[in-house]
């Protein structure tokens, strides 16, 4: 990517994302202090990912909060395209979905798009993506969703429920629309071209307005859904977008399943985590210790610090102490990385236990054997 340029689509994130520019490009709204206050007041609690701007943008979030204030129902929907192991970035919107369920008592739907990843990934068979869907479901269930209020949908298994809605949507999106939004060309397989109707269909799985927490790369699908909603006489889906966790090696792009050294996977061992962070995490430190002590590190570009800020250190006071120590040069890169390694391994130990327990509970979320 030439300097300053970036691409964000559901299938490609490249370059260093300028989120202000992205908000303009996509036509979304920034979560400003007034909107944040509105969400926090309605929820009765703050969330560090909201406070720190990890969730930075939205569409019609105000409308959802207004509905809630009038005691009208809404539901939450999010998803995963099973292309490999789950990484920490995937968990961001799911953790927020769980918080929304806890705070607003809402139903949550989780879509596993095994069809999509079969269409979009050269090296994956349909059997592969169907198998990965169940593995990825474990990470979602491990977060503790209420089984009475949560349903997991796998596209190839639950298509009978989705198809009548998808057909209504597909009839109202023409090829020029999808081409303009996704950049498809003559070589694109027709599964990909139709697929957006399947991801959109979930917005109408319940007869109530939907709120979708999601990484901002998925926004283009729902731009199309929002365009067709009035034609279907349905409400437009509301969205709340999170930033993309950067890859371990820094630079552009995102933490990605298909690049194993860019990501911390939920199934990584303590040794994997230590090796990856020590070897690959981009450092905002100085080239030698003397200079570092004198000038301090730069937390803004330091991946270990950014992972703590975005995910692993919810306590503001502790985070600020780490930032101040690092920026002043009191803390060295190796020490900062050691803190991250410890936090990640604590988190993953608990997650992996919950993930294994989830194997016996998938049926409670509507998954067949």
In the complex, which residues of this chain contact ligand TYM (CB under 6 A)? 10, 77-81, 89-90, 92-93, 111, 113, 116, 199, 212, 214-215, 217-218, 242, 244-245, 254-255
Contact 281, 304 (CB under 8 A): yes
Give the nearest distance from C-beta 10 to ligand TYM in angstroms.
6
Q: Residue 26's closest CA among 226, 170, 202, 193?
A: 226
Report phi then psi at 96, rounded to 5: -70, -35
Residue 182 vs 296, nearer CB to ligand TYM: 182
**Residue 129, token pair as written in the block:** 């993506």
Give the nearest distance from C-beta 254 to ligand TYM in angstroms.
4
**108-112 and 7-9 as β-strands: parallel, antiparallel, unpaired?**
unpaired
Alpha-carbon distance 191 to 120, whole Å?
9
Give the nearest distance from C-beta 38 to ligand TYM in angstroms.
22
Find the residue with minimal CB distance to ligand TYM: 215
Residue 245 vs 308, nearer CB to ligand TYM: 245
Alpha-carbon distance 274 to 284, whole Å?
18
Give the nearest distance from C-beta 120 to ligand TYM in angstroms.
8
Residue 197 vs 341, nearer CB to ligand TYM: 197
Partners of 267 in beta bridges: none
Give the nearest distance from C-beta 53 to ligand TYM in angstroms.
13
Cα 6 to chain centroid, rounded: 19
Contact 77, 203 (CB under 8 A): yes
Alpha-carbon distance 336 to 55, whole Å?
25
Residue 25 vs 37, nearer CB to ligand TYM: 25
Residue 239 vs 331, nearer CB to ligand TYM: 239
Give the nearest distance from C-beta 187 to ligand TYM in angstroms.
21
Residue 19 vs 338, nearer CB to ligand TYM: 19
Residue 16: Cβ within 10 Å count: 14
Contact 341, 274 (CB under 8 A): yes
SS3 state of residue 347: helix
Alpha-carbon distance 109 to 77, whole Å?
5
Give the nearest distance from C-beta 60 to ligand TYM in angstroms.
15
Alpha-carbon distance 184 to 146, whole Å?
39
Residue 203 vs 319, nearer CB to ligand TYM: 203
């Amino acid at each position: 990517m030439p300097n300053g340029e970036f691409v964000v689509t559901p299938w490609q994130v490249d370059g260093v994302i300028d989120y202000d520019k992205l908000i303009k490009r996509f036509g979304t709204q920034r979560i400003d202090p007034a909107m944040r206050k509105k969400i926090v007041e309605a929820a009765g609690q703050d969330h560090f990912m909201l406070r720190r701007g990890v969730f930075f943008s939205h569409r019609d979030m105000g409308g959802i909060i207004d509905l809630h204030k009038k005691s009208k129902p809404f539901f939450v929907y999010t998803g995963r395209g099973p292309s490999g192991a789950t990484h920490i970035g995937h968990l961001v919107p799911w953790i927020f979905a769980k918080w929304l369920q806890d705070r607003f008592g809402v139903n949550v739907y989780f879509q596993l798009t095994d069809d999509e990843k079969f269409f979009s990934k050269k090296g994956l068979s349909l059997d592969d993506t169907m198998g990965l869907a169940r593995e990825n479901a474990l990470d979602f269930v491990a977060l503790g969703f209420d089984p009475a209020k949560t349903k997991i949908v796998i596209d190839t298994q639950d298509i009978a429920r989705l198809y009548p809605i998808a057909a209504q949507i597909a009839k109202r999106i023409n090829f020029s629309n999808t081409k303009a939004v996704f950049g498809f060309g003559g070589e694109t397989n027709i599964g990909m071209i139709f697929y957006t109707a399947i991801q959109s269909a979930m917005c109408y799985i319940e007869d109530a307005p939907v709120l979708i927490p999601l990484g901002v790369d998925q926004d283009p699908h729902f731009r199309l859904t929002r365009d067709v909603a009035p034609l279907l006489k349905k409400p437009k889906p509301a969205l709340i977008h999170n930033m993309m966790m950067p890859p371990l090696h820094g630079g552009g792009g995102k933490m990605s399943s298909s690049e194993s050294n860019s990501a911390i996977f939920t199934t990584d061992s303590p040794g994997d985590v230590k090796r990856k962070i020590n070897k690959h995490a981009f450092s905002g430190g100085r080239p030698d210790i003397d200079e570092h002590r004198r000038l301090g590190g730069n937390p803004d570009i330091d991946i270990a610090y950014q992972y703590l800020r975005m995910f692993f250190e919810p306590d503001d006071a502790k985070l600020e102490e780490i930032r101040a120590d690092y920026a002043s040069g009191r803390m060295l890169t190796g020490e900062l990385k050691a803190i991250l390694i410890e936090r990640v391994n604590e988190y993953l130990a608990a997650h992996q236990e919950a993930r294994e327990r989830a194997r016996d509970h998938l049926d409670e979320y509507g998954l067949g054997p």
